[in-house]
Amino acid sequence: MLTHLPTLSRRDAVKAAAWALAAAAIAPRLAFADEKAVAAEIKKLYGDKPMASGKIKLDVPEIAENGLVVPINIEIESPMTEADYVKAVHVFAEGNPQPGVVSYQFTPACGKASAATRMRLAQTQDIICVAEMSNGTLHTAKANIKVTIGGCGG
Amino acid sequence: MISRREFLQATAAAAALTAGSGLGPLGRAAAQQKLSQADILRFQPQGQITILHVADIHAQLMPLQFREPAVNLGVGEVKGLPPHLTDAAFREHFKIAAGSADAFALTSDDFVSLARNYGRMGGLDRIATLVKAIRAERGDDKVLLLDGGDTWQGSWSSLQTKGQDMVDVMSALKLDAMTSHWEFTLGAERVKEIVEKASFAFLAQNIRDKEWNEPVFPPRKVFEKGGVKVAVIGQALPRTAVANPRWMFPEWEFGIREDELQKQVEEARAEGAAIVVLLSHDGFDVDRKLASRVKGIDVILTAHTHDAMPGLIRVGDTVLVASGSHGKFVSRLDIAVKDGKVADIRFKLMPVFADAIAPDSEMATLVTKLRAPYAADLAREIGRTDSLLYRRGNFNGSFDDLICDAMLTQRDAEIALSPGFRWGGSLLPGEPITWEAITNATAITYPNCYRMEMTGAQLKEILEDVADNIFHPDPYFQGGGDMVRIGGMGYAIDVGKPMGSRISGLTHLKSGKPIDASRKYVVAGWASVNEGTQGPPIWDVVRDHVAATRTITIKPNDAVKVSGA
Amino acid sequence: MTTKPTPRVRVPSKATAGEMIEIKTLISHEMESGQRKDAKGETIPRQIINKFSASFNGKPVFAADWFPAISANPYQSFFFKATESGEFTFTWKDDNGSEYVSKNKLTVG
């Protein structure tokens, strides 16, 4: 009798749970990036240059509705003039198979250093954002996104 | 505010009147404290405008019993704060006498004897009486009626009519605006169809289409009442796409969207709104945090978590209202505006005692007509209960125990999982279990009762994940609701621990053995959010179990050991 | 890929001088991450759009390097400060060497 039952695979771990959706895994839980991998990527780009907080608004949901499509909206405080603008912005995911998510190149013609896209997240994790200003200074920000099966009351 | 009545000692006369009625001591004292319709409506009016608020009616057209929770834990900063108070602590905080009408309506202890004395609560015809009386007193042009959502789901007739019965009664009630959560489980197309024709506004600032990230519903509406502009901003449940089947509304994205909400408030003020109201389905703790971060909201009408409080909660310049569920209460706020700003708010949580309030005949006729096609089915007695059957509580409810027992026996499973829904009526010992009672606890659009294998490790992972949705110390990371109910398995939970380490001591109850992380167990459950879930609808599973058992007896459930609260 | 990737762009056709306009773009594409396995357990090779760029009257405005973590049917929005009339060129570069282009006119006045 039991042999005819559907079995919950490891990959779908929580997916089949009652009322819940899953951490929509984009890969089995094998090798994932981590803090070190992200730090190494940043080091490749900018060496050991100091990074300040502030100026970056990292707008992501607290809880992902679908791990395969997680909106991310970034806005950097800047006048966006020829003399003072945001040159580049890099986004990394600490809990994905590879740390890179997206790298933006802005110009003063943008008028506003703001961009939005959608990303895949394998599990609950921190997202790291690094912004490079035209004068070479760096800023960073971090946000945690929960990928969950949920549970419903109300 | 109600609830100031002093507790009256039972007099000899009162005791004599109720002798032999089977009432406990509190019930006897209560007999003389019943409220009249005039008591319920008594209010010193003030200001230019009256706002009436209902929420989480869950399609309950008729009066019912609904027992409030005995366990409703708050975590993090809200530990021990209202609404996370129950029974004696709740009564002490809100100065409510034990055994009083308010105690019956708002707390859970001595529920059975108080219920026999005070009778049922709610019913759309009774709500209509209150609403009409207040409109007559204040004038139609001064009254705004708002619904916090979870209105179109929760009964057999609403399921059969795809929410139309509730749309019809809310239209007849001359509803001004609503927001939403469970409504979305009718599917995006059906919701849009209703909204296009509706006589009321359907507001949600926090829903975007996934393609172009544009608003799906109007975010707000400005009403002019009593010469004052009131902006009502809608906020649907931010976690709808996590808590319910996303495939039913695949093009929509939710979220709290604080920044966009702040913009809505600013735009509303710029349009001359003297009062800004957030008609919210966030849940109380989310709204309490939101009130400290989004500036310029005068009133948040909360919903989702089903809390009922006979007092306002103030956060900065914002007040929060919690109007309960299932039609048990209507909140009234009279607001005085001076120099274009809110000067004073007077509030009352009106308990809808069905025996005290004369039904509104027009609404009663409409309700009877809407229920007529299902009346015979609904009244069908399937069995009886010897035990009080209720749902609310963080970890278990006896009605959920019944549903789990039904899945274990009817689906031949070792372990049963039932979602921690907070809706569904209560049944008193000795009452029949009708088709209506079963479907009031199960009527959803994804009812299939699955049967599958899960390992012990997977079961723990599920419990950890759901627990984090309820006990995460930051309310923005909570999803609302209560713990998943479990049949056939016990566990211990330390609610104060972080995710991954709250749950321990998983035990297979029948054998008394610890759950083996690597062994596969046969699990039955319902309300899966996955598309294409196979199995009979849960109401048939429960019906078959009740019919086979005849008389249901639920033993006290001690399978969940709670610590860290 | 079963169908040819089709770009779609939402950009206003008119703007006033100095106006900040939002540009929204979408392109249908699987964005195969190179991390999935097929039914036989073999890794499905990576094929994503790795670069999106926008220029106006031939001058670069904005660019994005996309990694496999970008969702299928990738969406990208950004801003542009309108100063003169002209034409946008939006370009998507595929791992397989293909380029998909959309051109959109803007009148400033």
> What distance in Å separates residue C101's CA from the closest CA in chain A?
19
Give me the count of residues in chain B: 565
List chain C residues with CB under 8 Å of A105: 60, 62-64
Rounded Cα–Cα distance for residues A35 and A32 (Å): 10
* pLDDT for the residue numbered B279: 98
Please report the beta strands in B412-457, taking only residues with DSSP state E, as ranges in sequence order.
415-420, 432-434, 449-455
Boundary (domain end) residue, out of B314, B340, B369: B369
C12, pLDDT greater than 80:
yes
Rounded Cα–Cα distance for residues B158 and B166 (Å): 7
Q: What is the pLDDT of residues B74-94, one digit of tens each?
A: 999 999 999 999 999 999 999
Structure tokens at B360: 């509104």
Look at residue B235 and tell me if it is in a domain: yes
* pLDDT for the residue numbered B475: 94
List chain C residues with CB under 8 Å of A117: 64, 66, 70-71, 74-77
Rounded Cα–Cα distance for residues B480 and B496 (Å): 17
Q: Which of A1, A19, A146 sits opposite B477 (nearest CB)?
A: A146
Tell me the average pLDDT of chain A. Answer: 82
The alpha-helical segments, DSSP class H, found in chain A are 35-46
Q: What is the pLDDT of residues B19-54, one digit of tens each?
A: 334 444 454 455 557 999 999 999 999 999 999 999
Residues of A in CB contact (< 8 Å) with B are 1-2, 5-8, 13-21, 59, 61-63, 65-66, 69, 71, 116, 146, 148-154
> What distance in Å separates residue B210's CA from the closest CA in chain C?
10
Domains of chain A: 31-147 (2.60.40.2470)
Per-residue pLDDT, averaged over B102-110, amounts to 96
Same domain membership, residue B463 and residue B528: yes
Cβ distance of C36 and A104 shorter than 8 Å: no
C2, pLDDT greater than 70:
no
In CATH, what number is assigned to the domain containing residue B351? Answer: 3.60.21.10
Same domain membership, residue B481 and residue B358: no
Cβ contact C61:C55 at 8 Å: yes
User: Could you tell me if A112 lies within 8 Å of chain C, comparing CB atoms?
Assistant: yes
Dihedral sign for Cα atoms in the order B431, B436, B440, B444 = positive
Cβ contact B255:B240 at 8 Å: no
Q: What is the pLDDT of residues A53-64, one digit of tens each?
A: 999 999 999 999
**pLDDT confidence band for A12 (50 / 70 / 90):** very low
* pLDDT for the residue numbered B8: 30
**pLDDT confidence band for C38 (50 / 70 / 90):** confident
Q: Where are the domains of chain C?
A: 7-108
Q: Which of A6, A8, A154 sits opposite B480 (nearest CB)?
A: A154
Q: Which of A11, A66, A120 to mutate to test the interface with C (most CBs of C within 10 A)?
A: A120
Cβ distance of C75 and A102 shorter than 8 Å: no
Per-residue pLDDT, averaged over B127-149, amounts to 98
Which pTM was predicted? 0.91
List chain B residues with CB under 8 Å of A16: 450, 452, 454, 528, 530
Q: Which of A71, A148, A151 sits opposite B253 (nearest CB)?
A: A71
Same domain membership, residue B400 and residue B360: no
Please report the beta strands in C44-98, taking only residues with DSSP state E, as ranges in sequence order.
49-56, 59-66, 75-81, 86-94
Cβ contact C54:C63 at 8 Å: yes
Structure tokens at B508: 């297979």
pLDDT over 70 percentage in chain B: 94
Q: Which residue is closest to A86 within chain C, CA to CA? A: C62
Cβ contact A9:A75 at 8 Å: no
* Among B480, B462, B460, residue whose Cα is nearest residue B470: B480
Contacts of C9 (CB under 8 A, 6+ apart): C23, C24, C25, C26, C88, C90, C102, C104
Cβ contact C108:C83 at 8 Å: yes
* Among A30, B22, A82, residue whose Cα is nearest residue C35: A30
Same domain membership, residue B503 and residue B432: yes
* pLDDT for the residue numbered B5: 35
Rounded to the nearest 10°, the torsion over CA B534, B540, B541, B544 is -150
Cβ distance of C81 and A68 shorter than 8 Å: no
Residue type, B32: Q
List chain A residues with CB under 8 Å of C60: 105, 107
Dihedral sign for Cα atoms in the order B515, B520, B523, B528 = positive
Which of the residue ranges A22-26, A124-128, B421-425 would you say has the lowest mean pLDDT? A22-26
* Among B257, C33, B294, B293, residue whose Cα is nearest residue A63: B257
Rounded Cα–Cα distance for residues B286 and A37 (Å): 34
A24, pLDDT greater than 60:
no
A35, pLDDT greater than 90:
no
Q: What is the pLDDT of residues B187-222, one digit of tens each?
A: 999 999 999 999 999 999 999 999 999 999 999 999
List chain B residues with CB under 8 Å of C27: none
Look at residue B374 and tell me if it is in a domain: no
Structure tokens at B117: 């004395």
* Among C76, A151, C32, residue whose Cα is nearest residue B463: A151
Contacts of B182 (CB under 8 A, 6+ apart): A154, B58, B149, B150, B152, B153, B154, B244
* Among B436, B437, B404, residue whose Cα is nearest residue B420: B404
* pLDDT for the residue numbered B408: 98
Residue B95: burial class (beta carbons within 10 Å; 0-12, 13-18, 19+): middle
Structure tokens at B501: 């380490």
* pLDDT for the residue numbered B20: 37
Q: Looking at the 3D structure of chain B, how many domains does it have?
A: 3
User: Could you tell me if A117 lies within 8 Å of chain C, comparing CB atoms?
Assistant: yes
Same domain membership, residue B328 and residue B393: no
Which of the residue ranges A17-31, A103-117, B181-195, B486-500 would you say has the lowest mean pLDDT? A17-31
> C7-108: which CATH topology?
Immunoglobulin-like (2.60.40)
List chain B residues with CB under 8 Å of C75: 211, 213
**pLDDT confidence band for B128 (50 / 70 / 90):** very high
Rounded Cα–Cα distance for residues B115 and B118 (Å): 5
Rounded Cα–Cα distance for residues B436 and B440 (Å): 6
Same domain membership, residue B179 and residue B46: yes
A71, pLDDT greater than 70:
yes
Look at residue B273 and tell me if it is in a domain: yes
State the CB neighbour count (10 A cutoff) for residue B143: 23
Q: What is the pLDDT of residues B535-551, one digit of tens each?
A: 999 999 999 999 999 99
Strands B520-526 and B415-420: parallel
Rounded Cα–Cα distance for residues B455 and B490 (Å): 15
Distance (Å) of CA B251 to CA A62, A117, B179, B186, B446: 20, 16, 18, 14, 19
Query: How far is CA B58 from its chain centroid?
Result: 7
Same domain membership, residue B410 and residue B273: no
Same domain membership, residue B209 and residue B321: yes
Which residue in this structure is represented by tokens 């419903």?
A: A152
Look at residue B256 and tell me if it is in a domain: yes
* pLDDT for the residue numbered B485: 96
Q: What is the pLDDT of residues B427-464, one digit of tens each?
A: 999 999 999 999 999 999 999 999 999 999 999 999 99
DSSP B203-241: --TT-EETTT--BSS--EEEEEETTEEEEEEEE--TTHH
* pLDDT for the residue numbered A20: 31
Cβ distance of C59 and A121 shorter than 8 Å: no
Which residue in this structure is represented by tokens 């959010």?
A: B529
User: Could you tell me if C96 lies within 8 Å of chain A, comparing CB atoms?
Assistant: no
Cβ distance of A100 and C64 shorter than 8 Å: no
Cβ distance of A16 and B454 shorter than 8 Å: yes
Cβ distance of B528 and A8 shorter than 8 Å: no
Structure tokens at C47: 């094929």
Look at residue B24 and tell me if it is in a domain: yes
Look at residue B375 and tell me if it is in a domain: no
Query: Domain of B278?
Result: 34-64+120-369
**pLDDT confidence band for B7 (50 / 70 / 90):** very low
Same domain membership, residue B398 and residue B315: no
Structure tokens at B25: 């001591």
Rounded Cα–Cα distance for residues B183 and B152 (Å): 6
Backbone angles phi, psi at B174, to 5 degrees: 55, 50
* pLDDT for the residue numbered A8: 57
Rounded Cα–Cα distance for residues A128 and B518 (Å): 36
Which residue in this structure is represented by tokens 């919701």?
A: B191
* pLDDT for the residue numbered B45: 97
Listed by number, the residues of chain A in 18-57 with a beta carbon closer than 8 Å to a beta carbon of chain C are 26-28
Same domain membership, residue B541 and residue B525: yes
Rounded Cα–Cα distance for residues A144 and A134 (Å): 28
Angle, helix B164-172 to helix B361-371, in steps of 10 degrees: 170
The alpha-helical segments, DSSP class H, found in B392-537 are 398-410, 435-440, 456-471
Strands B299-302 and B275-280: parallel
Q: Which residue is closest to A10 within chain B, CA to CA? A: B458
Same domain membership, residue B293 and residue B266: yes
Look at residue B136 and tell me if it is in a domain: yes
Same domain membership, residue B179 and residue B322: yes
Q: Predicted ipTM?
A: 0.94
Look at residue B90 and tell me if it is in a domain: yes
